[in-house]
Amino acid sequence: MKVFNIFFCVVFIIFAGLQYNDPDPYVWMPIYLYASYFCWQSARKNFYPKWYLTGIFIYFVYAIYLFFTKDGVVDWLSQHQAENIAQTMKATKPWIEETREFFGLFICIAVLLINYFYAKKQLSKAR
């Protein structure tokens, strides 16, 4: 788990750095840095299950919004035939930007969920 968490800590820092020239870096930098911080803490065997759940909840609510909003994931799938979202780094179409953001949240949720269940297991062993 230490390697997993160090890997994602670095990945999320890179993701946060890539948000610098995004239209809304003030939203996305904290999202990725939050996940990065808790990966770092988990790698150091400091576990915060309630904070993982807080992040998961916030990310999940935002992901649902991005899924159903105009130019969101549903529009990308239904109206744009799941157009390639990785063709260029600059997202010139709003449905590509929203879909990429959705999948970024999905990655954060998955990593925090893995850490949550691992933390619960480790904390129950310690008792």
Number of domains in the chain: 1
Rg of the chain over CA atoms, in angstroms?
Answer: 16
Task: Check if the beta carbon of residue 33 is closer than 8 Å to that of residue 12.
Answer: yes
| Inter-residue contact 33 to 16 (CB < 8 Å) | yes
Average pLDDT, the chain: 89
Q: What is the pLDDT of residues 9-34, one digit of tens each?
A: 999 999 999 998 888 899 999 999 99
Q: Could you tell me what percentage of the chain is helix, strand and coil, using 3-state DSSP and rounding each to the nearest 5?
A: 75, 0, 25
State which residues form the domain around 83: 2-126
The predicted pLDDT at position 36 comes to 98
Q: Could you report the per-residue pLDDT of 49-72, keeping only the tens digit for each?
A: 999 999 999 999 999 998 888 887
pLDDT > 70: what percent of the chain? 87
pLDDT at 90: 63
The predicted model gives 85-97 an average pLDDT of: 68
